[in-house]
Structures are given as structure tokens and as C-alpha cells.
A and B are shown apart, each in its own frame.
Chain A
Amino acid sequence: MSSLEESVPRDWQGAGWRRTAPLIAALAAGAVDWRLGLIVGLWLGAWWVNTVLADRGARLAVPVIFGLTLLVLWEMAVRLFEVPGVILPPPSVIGARIMASLPILWGDFVQTAIKGALSGYVMGCGAAVAVAVLIDRSAFLQKGLLPVANFAAALPIVGTAPILVMWFGFDWQSKAAVVVVMVFFPMLVNTMAGLRAGEAMQADLMRTYGATYRQTLVKLRFPAAMPFIFNGLKICTTLALIGAIVAEFFGSPTSGMGFRISTAVGQLALDMVWAEITIAALAGSAFYGAVALIGRGVTFWHPSQRR
């Protein structure tokens, strides 16, 4: 044994303490209620499996097992404690509802994520990048526009959504408008930071080549700003989906994720609510992942992308 291992007290190291503590915890929980003991036992058992696998370096298996364990624990808790379905449905019921309502879920996804969130995202981020370039060009605009954009970003969405619904109607246009308002300021700030991040040496080099402002912008500063821009784009994916869903609470045609969630809550169809939540989570993760993947490709040169 090395001197380091010798200096650590025996109680704290070694398998003895680590093996008995989970067992004691599960037994103690079981003494309170046999169902609780079963759930705690399963949880700690799965955790142990995961630690063994992590040591062996199984990268994908660990999060998958973690996720599956959560679902199994949820199902067990709801079934064993007989939680009413109108409070919390078990994953099996939610899964059945997803399989039974695929056309509805697809329609809602198209209405909210594609027509509402995606179009608003593209318009908002595009506008933000354009305004950032304008601001970069003119200090006058920077002093004027930035505080206004800051103010617009602070407007609460639950206040602006009904107003935008009144202006743009009940369909996806008002949802896209809400997304534009939500997405504009973060994207603007990130793009501005990116444009400012160019190093003085590199700007000077372009100057010695006799490059115009436009050439410097397109060939040096914009590509150098890409890490910041993609940072902003990633942040805005989650904001866009949230904005589109919440905006639907304030008036919508009879399709869309926000509409389905709020009406299903009113009808006590909690399994449908959870099905929509699942679809929203999957859509959000996929959206974020897609933007991150594109970002990785575009900013391959950046130190953060080194493997």
C-alpha cells in the first residue's frame, strides 16, 4: 500500500463501508413501508450497477440505465402507492397514450415547433444578427438600440402574448411574434460580443492588406464571431420552444402543444399532458442537438472543439 492509502483511516476507504451502507438504507426504508423499501432498494441497486459500468468505461450504457431506472422507479411508485391517475399517471399509461395519439402529437408538433417556434427563431435570430452588425458599424445606434432591446427583453411573456395574439391573430403568426421578442435580445448580445472579440493583431493585418470594412467583416470578424453566435443560437432554441408553447395558452386554434396541454389539464387527461411534455422535451433536445452539431462543424478551428 502507498503511504497515501496508509494515511487514510480504514473506515473511510475500502469496500466494507460502501457495500453495507446501501443495504442498511434499503432495509431502513423497508422498515418504514415495504413499498418504499422496494423502491429504494431498486434505486440503489441500479446506482451500483451504473458505478461498476462507469468504472469499466461504458459511455452510453450509464445514462441509458439511469433513465430507465427513473422510469421504472416512477412506475413502481405510482402502482405500489396507488397514486390516482388524475394526479400522476405511470409511464406505461403515458407510453400507451403516445402510441395511440401519434397523428395528434405530430399535428401539434408541426403547429407549435415548426410553424411557431422555428419560424420565429429564424426571424428573430436573423433580425438580431442584422441589428448587431448595424450596431457594430455605428456607436450611435449602439447607445440607442441596446437599452431599448434590453427593455423589450424584460417584458413578461404572459403580458405580451395576449397582446400579440390580438394583433396577429390566433394562428401561428402570433406565436412566431412571441418567439421573436423572446429570442431577439440574447441573440443580439451574443452576436455583439462575438463581433467585438476579434483580436487587434488580426484586424491590423487585414488593414495592412487594404481590406475594406465589408471585407474585414465577412472574412475575419464574422467567422471569428461564430462561437459566440452559436452560443446564442443554442440558448435561443430552448427559449423559442418555451415561447411558442406558452403563447398558445393565450389563444390558439385547436391544435398545438400549448393548446393540447392546457385543454388536457382541463379535461383531467393527464396522460395526454405528459405525452405532450415528452414530445416537447424530445423536440427541444433534438433542436438543441442539431444546432450544436452544426456549430461544431462551423467552429472546428476553436480550441473548445479540440478532442
Chain B
Amino acid sequence: MKRLIAGAVALGLGGSAAWAEDLTLQLKWVTQAQFGGYYVALEKGFYEEEGLNVTIKAGGPDIAPTQVIAGGGADVIVEWMPAALAAREKGLPLVNIAQPFKSSGMMLTCLAETGITAPTDFPGRTLGVWFFGNEFPFLSWMSQLGVPTNGGADGVEVLKQGFNVDPLLQKQADCISTMTYNEYWQVIDAGITPEQLVTFKYEDNGVATLEDGLYVLEERLADPAFKESLVKFVRASMKGWKYAEENPDEAAMIVLEYDETGAQTESHQKRMMSEVAKLTAGSNGTLDPADYERTVASLLSGGSDPVITKAPEGAWTHEITDMALN
């Protein structure tokens, strides 16, 4: 009898939670302040208020968010626009529903002792870049500079960088790809001073592409119930982002709580959150079509090796953000 009552109570409590809609978000990388807005929304109950039960899946090396969503492992993914557009051209119809990151944080960091002072010094050098979707802005820039990426005297030798800054520290590469909020600071933490480095920001060189955005599969946008969930999700996420921008230290501590690996440190995350806040500033989540066009133009102008071969159609929508943020 006691078991029956306990079971009925559990069913009753469970029943109320069942009214919440489930949504799975796949992040582009491991749990870190780069995704602070989502963790803040989760921790502060913004998703719960909207009636959403959100599961945040961390990414990592060898996890391509586009593959996860293609396999049905997530409903929404955080991905960079070049990778999403390339996936769209390969037959995976991803659509951008929101763009929290307004500016690009990608840079190429070189040791000053290599003598590189400008992009014209790249030929004949060894440059490191991550792959798994992060190589597209780099390949696009090299293509625009007219520098082949397969070595040779007038080309660059490209190294598939692991997710650390060792190639620069061990002098195996002249320059490596870094993010303003992550790897650059890892280099500084390793003891190299900013004066010993020469940094080229993609934004300053006119080759910046849009980074962290939210993407879903096109066919799911035909389902009105799913669209409703997305509207609530975007609204709560942007609330989380704006809170994180205003309270970066608190947001960093929240991210640390959710870090299951224990690999992140407080100082690194606080620094990351304040740098990321500079990238999300200026965006309320709505994709700016002008930024989109600039990204597409940059990817198309790749010369012999463009990242995409034709301008995508229907790759973004304002439907969700209009309903979420009006």
C-alpha cells in the first residue's frame, strides 16, 4: 500500500515536469565560457520559466556538431557559419535561427622572432590551424591572399593543430590559430609576453566570418510545435547571454559548476567570459543580413579552392528571432 501511494505521488510530480518540452543543444566545444549564455540560462532557470527542459551536450575534439545533428543526437547546435554553410552544400540543410556572436574572435598568432610582420610574409612559413569545421575561415583567407596551402616556396605549410598551443611553444609552427578568448591567453600563460608575439585578427584583415550561431535542420522548422520551442529557447538563451555580458564573473563561476571534466580554471574562465562578452556585444540574437552577406562573400572568393561554390539559399531565417525578441 505504501509503495502504491509513493508511486502515485511520484507519478503526479513527474507528470507536472512532463509538460516541459525537451530540447537538446549540442555545443561546438567543451564546457567553457564561450557558451556562458546557455549555461547561465540553464542555471538561472530562464529555460524552466519558458517551460523548456534543456539538455546541454558539450562538444570536444572529434565531435562535429553538424554530424551530431545529422545523426539525430541534438535538436539545436552551436556552430560557425562557414562550417554550417559547407554542410548545407554537402546535403545537410542547416538553417541559422539566431546569431548571438556579432564579431569574430579568430586570430593568427605568430612569434615575433620569425620576422613575420604582415600577411605578405606568410609564404614559405608553417601555419597551424584546427580542422573539424574551423579550417574554413583560414582556407578562405589564404585563398584570398593567393597563397596555396600545400607547402612550397610560395605557399604555406599547414599543420593540423591539436587543441593546445604547443606547436608555437615548441617552434614547430611559425604561427598558430588562436581565439581572442582562449588560446591566445594560453600562450600568454605559458610565459610568452605580448611583445614577443605578432597577432593578426581576422576582423582587422577583412576576412572575419560569423562564428557561434544557433542552427537547426530545415525540415524541423515545418513543425509549428518545434518552432514554438525554438522561440522560447532563443528568448531564454539571449536573456542568458545578456546576463552573462553584465555579470561575467558570475557567469564564469556558473560555467565552472557545469564543467564535468574539472579541467577549467577560475581565472581562465573569468578572462574568457569577459573576452566573449566583447564578441556578443552589439547583437540581440538576430542575424544581421549584412554580416551574413559578408561571410558568404568571403567564403565564395576562395579562388581555386572556395569553401562553398555557390551562394546558399534559405540558409537563415528571422522567423524565430522575430517571434522571440519583438
Contacts and interface: CB of A to CB of B under 8 A. Distances in A.
A75 B23 CA distance: 34
Contacts of A84: 70, 91-92
Interface string A152-190: 000000000010011001100000000000000000000
A85 B91 contact: yes
A263 B131 contact: yes
A263 B91 contact: no
A253 interface: yes
Interface stretch (B7-15, B61-69, B201-209, B266-274): B61-69
The 8 closest A-B pairs by CB, nearest first: A266-B132, A263-B131, A254-B158, A86-B70, A266-B64, A251-B162, A268-B90, A86-B92
Interface residues of A, number: 23
Interface string A242-271: 000000011111100001001101111100
A269 B149 CA distance: 19
Contact of B71 (A85, A87, A250, A269): A87
B70 A87 contact: yes
Contacts of A266: 64, 83, 131-133, 135
Interface of A: 84-87, 162, 165-166, 169-170, 249-254, 259, 262-263, 265-269
Nearest to B86: A267
A165, A254, A263 — most chain B CB neighbours (10 Å): A254
A251 B172 CA distance: 11
A86 B172 contact: no
A47 to B, nearest CB: 31
A162 B172 CA distance: 14
B261 interface: no
A262 B92 contact: no
A263 B90 contact: no
B67 A268 contact: yes
B87 to A, nearest CB: 5
Given A87-B70, A268-B64, A254 B149 contact: yes
Interface of B: 62, 64, 66-67, 70-71, 83, 86-87, 90-92, 131-133, 135, 149-150, 157-162, 166-167, 170, 172
A85 B67 CA distance: 11
A266 B61 CA distance: 10
Given A86-B91, A170-B172, A265 B161 contact: no
A166 B166 CA distance: 7
Contact of B170 (A166, A252, A269): A166
28 contacts: A84-B91, A84-B92, A85-B90, A85-B91, A86-B70, A86-B91, A87-B70, A162-B162, A166-B166, A166-B170, A169-B172, A170-B160, A253-B160, A254-B149, A254-B159, A254-B160, A262-B132, A262-B160, A265-B62, A265-B64, A266-B133, A267-B86, A267-B131, A267-B133, A268-B67, A268-B70, A268-B87, A268-B92
B160 A251 contact: yes
A86 B158 contact: no
Contacts of A87: 70-71
B160 A268 contact: no
A106 to B, nearest CB: 14
A263 B70 contact: no
A85 B89 CA distance: 12
Nearest to A170: B159
Contacts of B159: 170, 251-254
Given A87-B70, A166-B166, A254-B150, A263 B172 contact: no
A253 B159 CA distance: 5
A249 B92 contact: no
A170 B131 contact: no
A252 B90 contact: no
B162 A250 contact: yes
B220 to A, nearest CB: 14
A155 to B, nearest CB: 19
Contacts of B87: 86, 268
Given A253-B157, A254-B158, A268-B66, A262 B91 contact: no
A108 to B, nearest CB: 13
